């Protein structure tokens, strides 16, 4: 592992969410005035060549485009950032004798079906790489906990694709909550109405299955659970009442779920999560009550709204927006403003910074373990065999 910019990234899985990673790669491979070129894509891994080719064609920093697999092609890596190696599997990537430091990834980004995250992340850690794992971190709690231990043993960072933590303003609000600006968190409620039609579940065999994906709670609501748990001060889970149902989709897992979580220090969280709503009007709404203020946020058809009130009833929304924009321009420059709608870019910026400053990223491995714990506890109470 070189730990020198630009860091080399290998992308494992070239499906839907990989597009958001691609947008981040195109941003980070540009020569930023303040940071230079921070990262570059060096390998694409997917069993389907056409999936790799799709991502390759969207990456702006490759001259020598090819659909050929690398197989340690002696020309590969000679011009780092110009030749993208391609592999069918992560095992092939690490089995290949990657001699040239430019061919070895520093970061492995895992965007495969959820049940594969654990084994692929483990292999990446064992091969001296930092890891970006799409949510959920794993499907089993013991696997997530093992990844946490391994990251510590190998001294590697793990960041989870918990995008809500990286939405504009959220980080500043969370920081102020931690510093006690709004008093003590009391409770939160969150609704995730993330409608999907049957075609969404039918597009791949892994979707909607218990083993590989889970349903509205594990797949769609885990982001919200992570965010709410964070804003509530990350208290331990005491107990949960969970209920799930499969109402309108042909799938093994739930398309509707509810959870009431009792958390340490008398904090509470209520969740409604569903994919039964209208797919063209996906929305999530959040409310957190603190002893000295409350926070409301929402995302509806891609549009973000929020309000923050202090104990005097003063609306702090404009103040937060100004702070956010000023900070982003200061740390990243104006070019970042076009990335505000792609939280994956912010996740990579945080991960890279965490590597160089040896600190934990915001959506660290602990957040991955905690959010999975909440989901699995809800499932267990609802009678799902885990």
Ligand X SMILES: NC(=O)c1ccc[n+]([C@@H]2O[C@H](COP(=O)([O-])OP(=O)(O)OC[C@H]3O[C@@H](n4cnc5c(N)ncnc54)[C@H](O)[C@@H]3O)[C@@H](O)[C@H]2O)c1
Where along the sequence are the contacts to ligand X (CB under 6 A)?
12-18, 45-48, 51, 89-90, 111-114, 116, 134-135, 161, 163, 204, 219
In DSSP terms, 268 is beta-bridged to: 187, 262
DSSP 135: S
Name, in order, each residue with C-beta under 8 angstroms of 85's C-beta and a sequence gap of 6 or more: 42, 43, 44, 69, 70, 73, 76, 77, 93, 103
- Tokens matching residue 256: 């509707």
Q: How far is the CB of 192 from ligand X (least distance, A)?
A: 12
Separation CA 46–CA 301 (nearest Å): 30
Q: How far is the CB of 89 from ligand X (least distance, A)?
A: 5
| Of 18 and 384, CB closest to ligand X | 18
| Of 86 and 354, CB closest to ligand X | 86
| Of 113 and 215, CB closest to ligand X | 113
**DSSP secondary structure letters along 218-259:** IIIIHHHHHHHHHHTT-PPEEEEEEEEE--SS-SSS-SEEEE
- For residue 75, which phi and psi values (nearest 5 degrees)? -85, -15
Separation CA 100–CA 78 (nearest Å): 8
Q: How far is the CB of 204 from ligand X (least distance, A)?
A: 5
Q: How far is the CB of 81 from ligand X (least distance, A)?
A: 22
Q: How far is the CB of 180 from ligand X (least distance, A)?
A: 30
| Of 22 and 290, CB closest to ligand X | 22
Q: How far is the CB of 161 from ligand X (least distance, A)?
A: 3
**CA angle in degrees (0–180, nearest 5) for 20-23-26:** 150
| Of 13 and 77, CB closest to ligand X | 13
Output the residue with the shortest Cβ distance to ligand X.
Answer: 15
**Assign residue 265 a region: left if phi > 0, alpha if psi is -120 to 50, beta otherwise?**
left
Is 105 within 8 Å of 9 (Cβ atoms)? yes
| Of 134 and 254, CB closest to ligand X | 134
- Cis omega (within 30 of 0) on the bond before 6? yes
Q: How far is the CB of 12 from ligand X (least distance, A)?
A: 5
| Of 186 and 366, CB closest to ligand X | 366
Q: How far is the CB of 361 from ligand X (least distance, A)?
A: 14
| Of 48 and 356, CB closest to ligand X | 48
- Cis omega (within 30 of 0) on the bond before 118? no
Q: How far is the CB of 267 from ligand X (least distance, A)?
A: 25
| Of 85 and 116, CB closest to ligand X | 116
Q: How far is the CB of 184 from ligand X (least distance, A)?
A: 30
Closest CA to 305 of 284, 274, 329, 322: 284
| Of 176 and 213, CB closest to ligand X | 213
Residue 63: count other Cβ atoms within 10 Å of its Cβ: 8
Name, in order, each residue with C-beta under 8 angstroms of 297's C-beta and a sequence gap of 6 or more: 167, 170, 285, 286, 304, 305, 306, 307
Separation CA 145–CA 141 (nearest Å): 6
């Amino acid at each position: 592992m070189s730990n020198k910019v630009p860091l080399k990234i290998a992308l494992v899985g070239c499906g839907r969410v990989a597009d958001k990673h691609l947008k981040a790669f195109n941003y980070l491979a540009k020569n930023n005035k303040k940071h230079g070129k921070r990262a570059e894509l060096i390998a694409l891994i997917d069993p389907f060549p056409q999936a790799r080719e799709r991502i390759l064609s969207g990456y702006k920093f490759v001259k020598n485009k090819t659909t050929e697999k690398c197989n340690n092609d002696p020309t590969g890596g000679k011009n780092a950032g110009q030749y993208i190696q391609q592999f069918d599997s992560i095992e092939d990537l690490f089995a290949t004798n990657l001699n040239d430091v430019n061919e070895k990834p520093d970061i492995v980004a895992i965007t495969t079906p959820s049940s594969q995250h654990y084994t692929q992340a483990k292999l990446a850690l064992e091969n001296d790489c930092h890891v970006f794992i799409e949510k959920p971190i794993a499907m089993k709690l013991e696997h997530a906990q093992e990844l946490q231990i391994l990251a510590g043993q190998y001294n590697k960072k793990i960041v989870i694709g918990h995008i809500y933590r990286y939405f504009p303003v959220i980080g500043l609000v969370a920081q102020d909550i931690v510093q006690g600006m709004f008093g003590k968190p009391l409770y939160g409620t969150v609704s995730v109405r993330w409608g999907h039609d049957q075609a969404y579940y039918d597009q791949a065999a892994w979707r909607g299955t218990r083993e590989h994906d889970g349903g509205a709670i594990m797949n769609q609501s885990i982001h919200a659970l992570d965010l709410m748990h964070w804003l509530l001060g990350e208290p331990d889970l005491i107990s949960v009442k969970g209920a799930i149902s499969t109402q309108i989709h042909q799938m093994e897992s739930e398309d509707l779920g509810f959870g009431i979580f009792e958390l340490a220090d008398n904090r509470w969280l209520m969740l409604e999560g569903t994919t039964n709503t209208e797919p063209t009007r996906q929305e999530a709404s959040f409310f957190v009550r603190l002893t000295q203020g409350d926070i409301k946020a929402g995302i509806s058809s891609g549009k973000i709204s929020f309000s923050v009130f202090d104990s005097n009833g003063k609306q702090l929304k404009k103040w937060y927006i100004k702070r956010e924009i000023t900070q982003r321009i200061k740390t990243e420059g104006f070019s970042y403003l076009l990335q505000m709608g792609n939280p994956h870019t912010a996740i990579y910026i945080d991960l890279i910074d965490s590597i160089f400053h040896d600190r934990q990223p915001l959506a660290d491995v602990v957040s991955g373990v905690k959010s999975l714990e909440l989901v699995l506890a809800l499932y267990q109470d609802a009678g799902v065999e885990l």
